[in-house]
Amino acid sequence: MLYLTCNADTAIAICHPHSLKKNKKPISPTQAHTLPHFAYSDILAATNAFSAHTFLGKGGHGSVYKATLHGGALIAAVKKTKSSNEIEILSHVKSPRLVNLIGLCNDQTNCNINKLIVVEYMPNGSLHDLLHSTKTVGSPGWTARVRFAVHVAIAVRFLHSSEPPVIHRDIKSSNVLIDEKWKARLGDFGLAFRGHVADSRVPPAGTLGYLDPSYLAPGDLSPKSDVFSFGILLLEIASGRHAIDVRHSPPSLLDWAMPLVRRGEFREICDPRIGTPPDMATFRRMMVLAARCVMSTAERRPTIAEVVECLTAARKNFEAPVMWLRMTGRVVKARGYPIPE
């Protein structure tokens, strides 16, 4: 997916960046060694000047358009942002589990702001849409859901182990995108913090329902804040419920799920659309892990490395029946979502 930001005010995502003309203008030192430039005029033409008929939708941090360039269909995401933070973060990190930065656009003549960032295109939408949209053909099964959880945990582990570390600060299902191989990637680094937490001066930020309640001041920021958000995401993946949903009582996923975990009523947490997990013992361990992630005291939460270890083991248990089906020659598809080899 490609993602472009104009003066940190607009970001565009398109695919096939090599179809675009390279802009020879200099870029900042942090990007000069790796990132190409693209002509804004080509981006504008590819999206028909971001016209209404190319508009695909709007998310929390941007609008999505379809771009057509040189006879090829290109998907573009246009996103407004208040700072160049996302460019700064993405120019320093790259991983198969992230929605990575590909290039920039810097054309003040054609753009009333400065920069556009181009990131990889994710053709299969967001995890939020897969879990909650009524337009999807069925909801992902348990094997796919556990796999997505592992992918996101690996992405967060990569960020936390970077030097200096990166804390995402906005982990949620709508920021988890699904690539062409049905693997989950973590995107949207508009709120991310890169550096050591002792140096943090940024005010608390995040999304209601996912935000760490112990993160009340800049000095409270910790990698465990991401762990809390991931714990909410894991409960969302398991239950199919929104982090906050006023149609339910209580509306908070956390307030609804934690009493069930404490009482050992794990089946009540399962998304009723897909039934009971194939390995209930493993599911119980996953929910206990989620409960540890959302502990009110950050110090009592696991590290993301421990989360990856636990979920990787859970994935193996969930995929054991799938491997048996493969060995017997049966066709394997989990509710329309292919299982990568």
- CA 230/CA 186 separation, integer angstroms: 11
Where a domain ends, among 87, 119, 151?
119
Q: What is the mean pLDDT of residues 284-302?
A: 97
Rounded CA separation 18/36 (Å): 10
Q: What pLDDT sits at residue 75?
A: 53
Q: Is residue 103 part of a domain?
A: yes
Phi and psi at 183, nearest 5°, equal: -110, 140
Q: What is the CATH number of the domain that holds 312?
A: 1.10.510.10
312 is a domain residue = yes
Q: Both 160 and 272 in a single domain?
A: yes
Interval 233-288: pLDDT, tens: 999 999 999 999 999 999 999 999 999 999 999 999 999 999 999 899 999 999 99
Q: Judge whether 12 lies within some domain.
A: no
For residues 286 and 173, membership in a common domain is answered with: yes
CATH of the domain at 48: 3.30.200.20
- Amino acid at position 130, single letter: L
Boundary residue ending a domain (62, 90, 119): 119
Chain segment 183-242, per-residue pLDDT in tens: 999 998 989 999 988 777 889 999 999 999 999 998 899 999 999 999 999 999 999 999
Whether residues 285 and 315 fall in one domain: yes
| 167 lies in the same domain as 81 | no
Domain end, chosen from 119, 153, 173, is at 119
Q: Which domain holds residue 271?
A: 127-327
Look at residue 48 and tell me whether its pLDDT is greater than 80. Answer: no
Residue 232 falls inside a structural domain? yes
Residues 131 and 108 occupy one common structural domain: no
In a domain, 339, yes or no: no
Same domain flag for 254 and 136:
yes
70/162 same-domain check: no
Catalytic residues: 170
Number of domains present in the structure of the chain:
2
DSSP secondary structure, 286-332, as one string: HHHHHHHHT-SSGGGSPPHHHHHHHHHHHHHHHHHHHHHHHHTT---
CA–CA separation, 174 and 127 (whole Å) = 6
- Do 103 and 136 lie in a common domain? no
Residue 176's Cβ-side half-sphere holds a number of Cα atoms within 13 Å equal to: 28
- Does residue 1 belong to any structural domain of this protein? no
Percent of the residues in the chain that have a pLDDT greater than 70, as a whole number: 71
Average pLDDT over residues 305-329: 78
Do residues 104 and 38 touch, judged by C-beta distance below 8 A?
yes
Q: List residues forming the annotated binding site for ATP.
A: 80
Cβ atoms 317, 282 nearer than 8 A: yes
Are residues 200 and 310 both part of a single domain?
A: yes
Q: Say yes or no: 196 and 51 in one domain.
A: no
| Residues making up the binding site | 80
- Kindly report the length of the chain: 341
Report the pLDDT averaged over residues 177-181.
92
Q: What is the average per-residue pLDDT within 293-303?
A: 97
Average pLDDT, whole number, for the chain? 79
Within a domain: residue 45?
yes
Query: Is the same domain home to 313 and 167?
Result: yes
Q: Is residue 10 part of a domain?
A: no
Pair 132, 44 in one domain: no
Rounded to 10 degrees, the C-alpha dihedral 272/125/101/172 comes to -30
